[in-house]
Structure 1
Amino acid sequence: MTTPPAASTTPATPTTPAAASPLRIGLLGAGPWARNTHAPALAAHPDAVLTGVWGRRPEAAEALATAHGTRAYAGEAGIDALLEASDAVAFALPPDVQAPLAVRAAEAGCHVLMDKPVATTVEGARAVAEAVAKAEVASVVFCTLRFAPETVAWIAEQAAVGGWFTARAQWLGSLYAAGSASEYADSPWRREKGGLWDVGPHALSVLIPVLGEVTELTARRGPADTTHLILRHGSGASSTVTLGLSAPPAAAGMGIELRGEHGTAEIPGWDGAQPAFRGAVDALAEAVRTGVPHACDARFGLRLTELLAEAERQAG
């Protein structure tokens, strides 16, 4: 087993004064994820105002902005104008497009609500974490299970129970199975990096707060893009994780099971991405208001990137 290096950046401790309510949030990204989750959740949030949409394709940004009664921004100047008009920005962009723009947003004094993974390189994720810490802005990384009402409560309950001996997590999608018509399959970064980087952050974002920091990691490849992980945690517990996006439809599914002194516990289902994203907006607003970093912030996003990069290196 290999012990992955720990994040070296200083913990972010945002001290920016609480922003006026509602929080003005701009959206960077106008693809399917932004259209299906971010924009409708922001537009309907009672404590947020969607200040505008910027996209790499101006026509997509215009269509999304029009659908939600806000303004479209275009080009490099449009990014700066949207940052100027916003207290915070949400990202629905590929990770290595997101990372430098998150640095830019933090440097402009905007709080950041990022998608997972923050970046696909440790250097990219570290630059974000350091920019957030230096600017003293709030940050949240949108790992769905950490913010869906049903699963966030379950995670807190299991962390409080303790005494866990081992865990098993499995997230197998059929995005790249024969006959798949998902619009998310067209994502170049997702096809290149596979399930490890796409759904791996979700699994790790549950296991770490319950079982403790990952102290040892072993990774091996399975069929297609499938990756198997064996993890040792700071609590002494171990876990196994199977991740992939190419399973046959009949084999696809997600589950996380814990076993320990008090028996077993299985993660519940949740009601889609939009409620979870609303929870992430709430978490960002709370961090802005209180100055207390959320546990799933840019620094945690860096740690996830370190673990995923080490797993990718080992799996080859």
Structure 2
Amino acid sequence: MRIGLLGTGPWAGRVHAPALAGHPGVEFTGVWGRRTEATEALAKESGTRAYTDVEALFADSDAVAIALPPDVQAELAVRAAEAGCHLLLDKPVATSVTAARRVADAAGRAGVASVVFFTLRFDPAVAEWVHRQSAAGGWFTGSVAWLGALFSEGADSPYAASPWRREKGALWDVGPHVLSVLLPVLGELTGPDAVTAVAGPGDTVHLVLRHDGGASSTVTVSLTAPVAAAGRAVELRGAAGTSVLPEQREDGVVVFRRAVDALTDSARSGVPHLCDVRFGARVTEILAAAEAARAT
């Protein structure tokens, strides 16, 4: 599969580009970015071509991988789908319900495959855990504490310079990861009171979720926790006892290659992936509902 990359930031440079360049089943078509110098530098480092015209990259590719801010991603994903390119998107698909639905609708009209890179779902240990807990059923409640220190004093991360993360906070950056794990295990969210949200210190958000199967879950996410308090814990309790989400064991490059494989398989088989753009749009709908609940 010929795959082009849109984006030149830290995530694209550390994960997407090396994964595409080193994938034996991929022809890394080229890189397009909003900054010419960064585009040329990443393309040279990756042994591929720099594009100044995104439509030309679409024309030369079977698929595109996008590593851009979500609302920039959404606009370009629609254009890529209309050009016939399969979509390997980052999370969240968009930060507005309208934009996310537009991407899903465009992919559906064009008949292209799509995968949203929820990193946990492409790590084998985590994916197997999600499958087993979903099959077990009988869960009573789930609890998640996902505390990052991205914007805290003493933290040192290249992603702290991300304007969209600073604006939208943990709800939109960490929230998609949480939902990608909880929804397939505990079930969908429906009803007017299915999502409740309260603001905590900094960008911290506390959620209470009511799932279709009768279970409830509580979620705390933050990017402004003290460095010493940062960490992640995901726990389920139910008829089968207690189960804890395992740590992601493989690095981002290896996990992203698995997402590439998933996109390739979906494109060839015509079978939608569980983490396709429709699921990604649903995650955006839930996060938007949480944002509205927090505001009131």
User: What TM-score comes out, normalization by structure 2 length?
Assistant: 0.97
Q: Which has the higher contact order (CA 8 A, sep 6+)?
A: 1
Between the aligned partners of 1:132 and 1:41, the Cα distance in structure 2 is 24
Partner of 2:40: 62
Aligned-residue identity in percent: 63
Aligned residues: 291
Between the aligned partners of 1:251 and 1:180, the Cα distance in structure 2 is 12
1:218 and 2:193 aligned: no
1:214 aligned counterpart, secondary structure: coil
Deviations 1:188-213 (A, max 9, x none): 10000000000100000000001110
Check conservation: 1:149, 1:279, Cα contact below 8 A: no
Between the aligned partners of 1:205 and 1:24, the Cα distance in structure 2 is 28
Point out 4+ residue stretches in structure 1 off by more than 6 angstroms. Answer: none
1:148 and 2:112 aligned: no
Give me the CA root mean square deviation.
0.8
Q: What are the residue-to-residue correspondences of 1:32-71 with 2, within 5 Å? A: 32-71=10-49
Check conservation: 1:25, 1:50, Cα contact below 8 A: yes
Between the aligned partners of 1:158 and 1:275, the Cα distance in structure 2 is 24
1:218 aligned counterpart, secondary structure: strand
1:120 and 2:98 aligned: no
Q: Which runs of 5+ in 1 are unaligned?
A: 1-22
Partner of 1:239: 217
- 1:262 equivalent among 240, 250, 258: 240
Check conservation: 1:140, 1:298, Cα contact below 8 A: yes
Deviations 1:1-49 (A, max 9, x none): xxxxxxxxxxxxxxxxxxxxxx111000011000011001111112112
2:93 aligned counterpart, secondary structure: coil
1:100 and 2:75 aligned: yes
2:213 aligned counterpart, secondary structure: coil
2:150 aligned counterpart, secondary structure: coil
- 1:111 equivalent among 86, 94, 101: 86
Deviations 1:31-81 (A, max 9, x none): 10000110011111121121100111111111111111100111xxx1011
Between the aligned partners of 1:267 and 1:147, the Cα distance in structure 2 is 14
Check conservation: 1:102, 1:112, Cα contact below 8 A: yes
Check conservation: 2:195, 2:293, Cα contact below 8 A: no
**Once the 2 structures are TM-superposed, how far is the Cα of residue 272 of structure 1 from its aligned partner?**
2.5
Between the aligned partners of 1:86 and 1:252, the Cα distance in structure 2 is 40
Q: Name whichever of 252-261 and 197-206 sits farther off.
A: 252-261
Between the aligned partners of 2:33 and 2:78, the Cα distance in structure 1 is 17
Partner of 1:7: none
**Once the 2 structures are TM-superposed, how far is the Cα of residue 157 of structure 1 from its aligned partner?**
1.1
1:312 and 2:291 aligned: yes
Deviations 1:134-155 (A, max 9, x none): 0010001111111112211111
- 2:174 equivalent among 199, 204, 227: 199
Check conservation: 2:134, 2:184, Cα contact below 8 A: yes
Between the aligned partners of 2:218 and 2:247, the Cα distance in structure 1 is 20
Q: Which runs of 5+ in 2 are unaligned?
A: none
Deviations 1:144-199 (A, max 9, x none): 11111221111111111111111111211100001222110111100000000001
Partner of 1:280: 259
Partner of 1:18: none
Between the aligned partners of 2:134 and 2:13, the Cα distance in structure 1 is 34
